[in-house]
């Protein structure tokens, strides 16, 4: 069976360690389609298992928060990231310090 793009996205996102973030574009590239960053967002919105697929660790290319369906939305996403040690500059992740290198 050939894995779907979403399956590939979930596999990549499940590898992001605590204290790090990846961008939608980075995930799209690692999943095999660098132009499918919007599809990555849709995959995150449909995340079937938030315990093993840490979708809160996926952010915009400039570190901006985009949607989060758990808890109180973006407020919860930011709190989870801060708890994991992700560095922020205002309301954006400081990607120069916290971006996952893969």
pLDDT at 2: 63
Angle at 42 between CA 37 and CA 45, to 5 degrees: 130
pLDDT at 1: 61
CATH number of 5-93: 1.10.10.10
What distance in Å separates the CA atoms of residue 70 and residue 15, rounded to the nearest whole number?
20
pLDDT at 60: 95
Chain segment 20-30, per-residue pLDDT in tens:
999 999 999 99
Buried b (16+ CB within 10 A) or exposed e, 15-29: ebeeebbbbbbbbbb
pLDDT at 56: 96
Chain segment 81-95, per-residue pLDDT in tens:
999 999 999 999 999
What distance in Å separates the CA atoms of residue 52 and residue 54, rounded to the nearest whole number?
6
Q: Tell me the whole-structure pTM to 2 decimals.
A: 0.93
User: Angle formed by the axes of helices 5-13 and 37-45, to 10°?
Assistant: 80
Question: Which active-site residues does the annotation give?
Answer: 55
Chain segment 47-75, per-residue pLDDT in tens:
999 999 999 999 999 999 988 878 778 89
């Amino acid at each position: 069976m050939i894995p779907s793009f979403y399956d590939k996205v979930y596999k990549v996102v499940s590898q992001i360690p605590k204290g790090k973030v990846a961008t939608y574009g980075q995930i799209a590239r690692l999943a095999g389609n660098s132009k499918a960053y919007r599809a990555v967002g849709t995959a995150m919105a449909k995340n079937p298992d938030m315990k093993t697929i840490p979708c809160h660790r996926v952010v915009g290319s400039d570190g901006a928060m985009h949607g989060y369906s758990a808890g109180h939305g973006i407020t919860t996403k930011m709190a989870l990231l801060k708890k994991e040690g992700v560095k922020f500059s205002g309301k954006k992740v400081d990607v120069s310090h916290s971006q996952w290198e893969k």
